[in-house]
Amino acid sequence: MVVSVNKSLQCSVVGDGFVGKSCLVERFLGGEFNSEYVATLQDDYIAKCNVNGDSLEMNITDFAGEHDDLVSIEVPDVFVVCFSLVDKDSLESVLNFWVPRIRSEEKQTPIVLVGTQLDKRRTQRKGHISTEEGLSLAQSICASAYVECSAKDNTGVDVALYSILLASNKYNRRKASLFKRVLGR
């Protein structure tokens, strides 16, 4: 499959604290896993990617887990909403806090739902969130994609990144098609 991408992409990563957002972003940037928790208010990163021979600049904004002012942020091309696969409260926050907050301002911006800490789910016998529960949530919030990953093991991180690129590309093609229809061109 050939995927053409814009030359730049703005991506906002949100979710509860301690779910592994910053570790995931570090892996997107090609960094190593850091097991120490470092509180984030808002960190901005730029990553250079090559996709199908095209060069892409990815602007990633990593928000604090309790970010109250999503309204003031620049509208991204994609929201990446994260929850921990071993924390049911973080899953409930996606449905009851993060998605309503995003959709109250940005009705059409695609959401890629990412279940993090897959490595912990493999070792924790009880209380984890199943793939079926994650897929069900993704469907209920009309997410563009659902991915499970582990920044620690670097499992599924490339799939998450590719899903973000595909969601952005699909959304931008839809917008361009709409503009052409409206303008009659």
Give the model confidence (pLDDT) of 26-51 as tens digits.
888 877 766 665 666 677 778 777 66
Output the pLDDT for position 169. Answer: 83
* Confidence tier at 153 by pLDDT (50, 70, 90): very high
pLDDT at residue 92 in the model? 96
CB atoms within 10 A of CB 177: 10
Cα dihedral sign, 116-95-160-24: negative
Q: Reduce the secondary structure of 60-99 to three states and give it as a string.
A: EEEECCCCCCHHHCCCCCEEEEEEECCCHHHHHHHHHHHH
Q: How far is CA 163 from CA 3, 13, 55, 105, 124, in A?
A: 11, 14, 17, 23, 27
Nearest-angstrom CA–CA distance, 185 and 21? 41
pLDDT above 60 (res 12): yes
Amino acid found at 50: N
Rounded-to-integer distance, Cα 120 and Cα 128, Å: 9
Model confidence at 56, pLDDT cuts 50, 70, 90, reads confident
Average pLDDT over every residue of 19-31: 87
Q: What is the pLDDT of residues 138-147, one digit of tens each?
A: 999 999 999 9
Element counts in the chain: helices (H) and strands (E): 6, 6
Band (2; pLDDT cuts 50, 70, 90) = very low
CATH, range 8-183: 3.40.50.300
The beta strands (E) that lie in 117-169 are given as: 145-148
Contact (CB, 8 A) for 111 and 141: yes
Q: Under a CB-based contact definition with an 8 Å cutoff, are residues 78 and 109 in contact?
A: yes
pLDDT the model gives residue 179: 47
Cβ(56)–Cβ(7) below 8 Å:
yes
d(CA 76, CA 58): 11
